[in-house]
Amino acid sequence: MTFSWVPGTMDQVRFSTGERSYTVLLKDVQQLSVHSAADLYLKGRVVLPITAAHHAELTGHLALTSGVRRVSAAPAT
């Protein structure tokens, strides 16, 4: 799962699954290691493996916000 910073925050990350995007607290993404934390701080995003149970928690009671993912339309030619 790919997590990225929420602009204007220091403690929130965003991820998408299916057609929905979710915002969660960074502390709730528990698998952060030294290397993945560095990627998040330096690159603004990190890919982490998560279990099905953790995914259910992140998309359930740990989600601060959720919404339908917006997909950009192709430019008109």
Place of tokens 């989600």: 63
First to last CA, the chain: 34
Going by pLDDT thresholds of 50, 70 and 90, the confidence category of residue 39 is confident
Mean pLDDT of 25-52: 79
Mean pLDDT, all residues of the chain: 81
Query: Residue 34, Cα to own-chain centre: how many angstroms?
Result: 18
For residues 77 and 65, give the distance between their C-alpha atoms in angstroms, rounded to a whole number. 35
Q: Does the predicted TM-score (pTM) go above 0.85? A: no
Q: What is the rounded CA–CA span in Å between residue 18 and residue 9?
A: 24
